[in-house]
Amino acid sequence: MEKRYLGKNKLEVSAIGLGCMGFTQSYPPYPDRKESIAVIRKAVELGVTFFDTAEVYSVYQNEELVGEALKPFRGEVVIATKFGYDIGGNAVDAYNRPMGLSSRPETIRKAVEGSLRRLRVDHIDLYYQHRVDPDTPIEVVADTVASLMKEGKVLNWGLSEAAPSTVRRAHAVCPLTAVQSEYSMWYRNPEAELLPVLEELGIGFVPFSPLGKAMLTGRFDKDTKFDASDFRSSIPRFQDENLRHNLELVDYVRELAERKGTTPARIALGWLLAQKPWIVPIPGTKRVERIEENIGGADVVFSPEELAEIRRKLDSITIVGARYPEDQERLTGK
């Protein structure tokens, strides 16, 4: 697969990565451990070298899974994980995730040791602050991570769902390699302010949910109902009238796919890759056939005229409903 580079340090990764959260959290049913490991290892065989996890996903279980699955490929793959929660208290949400943000230096140091152990590595390739902690200045966070980098425990660092002003402040203390935030044809807010700042500073961008939590694959229709255990059941833009309205975008992506002789998922991923050479999406899936489909997005080519036409059409479509439940949305863009 084509390779891309994140940040001025030129962290080399596959043009399309794999978001691993769904193996253990948010999108049931979950495969058993043996099957999950086989899928992750098959992704490596198919050319994926960039894998995303976090300590908070299923509280350590996802990191443990990724660590075991990728153990045979040390030095061949890049593993990104995240810190930023005070794990150990009793406050958890419906998905058993700790609710309390914390990026205090002592919390980060405790987190990194746990992640190193669970991932079975002696350093973390890319270490994100999962969400900005309003009680810890980002300069303190950056300085703490800089110390971990000097110790060789972290090679690169990044932020997730951070505001452009926070990105600037963090980067001034310890240069960032990447910022991870939601971005797709379904959610384009980063285009206004975040992407220009990343381009100016030479920071890579890693869009999560590049397929709109599967919306852009065309899997859902006006009658789709999500089980209460599925994270999408709590997201406003997936509910009732909002979902029915938002199918306009799905229909357009399907039309593009038919025109180009490919699939909607590949159209959505190819479009993201066409925006900037330093964008690396990380679609999540638990199935080998979906990984095969997704990596084919790197082969989709758009002419300048096609990209201009797509942008005009996207500008004309209004997506209805928030992308997160209110309690999660307020943690973003800080």
* Per-residue pLDDT tens digits for 160-175: 999 999 999 999 999 9
What beta strand segments (E) does 73-198 contain? 78-83, 126-129, 157-160, 178-182
- Indicate the pTM of the whole model: 0.95
Q: Which residues contact 75 (CB under 8 A, 6 or more apart)?
A: none
Q: Which residues contact 274 (CB under 8 A, 6 or more apart)?
A: 301, 302, 307
State pLDDT tens for residues 272-285: 999 999 999 999 99
Tokens of 147: 């110390």
Q: How far apart are CA 174 and CA 168, in angstroms?
A: 10
Residue 182 gets which letter from DSSP? Answer: E
In contact, 85 and 102? CB cutoff 8 Å? yes
* Residue 259: Cβ within 10 Å count: 10
pLDDT for 124 equals: 98
Q: Which fold has domain 3-214+264-300?
A: TIM Barrel (3.20.20)
In contact, 162 and 196? CB cutoff 8 Å? no
State pLDDT tens for residues 124-138: 999 999 999 999 999
Q: Residue 290: how many CA atoms within 13 Å on its side-chain side? A: 17
Mean pLDDT of 193-217: 97
Residue 81 has pLDDT above 70, yes or no: yes
Tokens of 54: 């976090």
Residue 324 has pLDDT above 60, yes or no: yes
- The residue extents of the domains of the chain are 3-214+264-300
DSSP letter for each residue of 60-95: THHHHHHHHHHGGGTTT-EEEEEE-B-TTSS-B-TT
128 is catalytic: no
Catalytic residue among 27, 57, 85, 187: 57
pLDDT band at 88 (very low <50, low <70, confident <90, very high): confident
Residue 94 has pLDDT above 60, yes or no: no
Tokens of 198: 């990343």
Least confident of 24-38, 95-109, 283-297, 316-330: 95-109
Average pLDDT, the chain: 95
Q: How far apart are CA 96 and CA 190, in angstroms?
A: 29
H or E element that contains 52? strand 50-52
State pLDDT tens for residues 216-235: 999 999 999 999 889 899 99
Q: Which residue has tokens 């307020």?
A: 330
Q: How far apart are CA 132 and CA 331, in angstroms?
A: 7
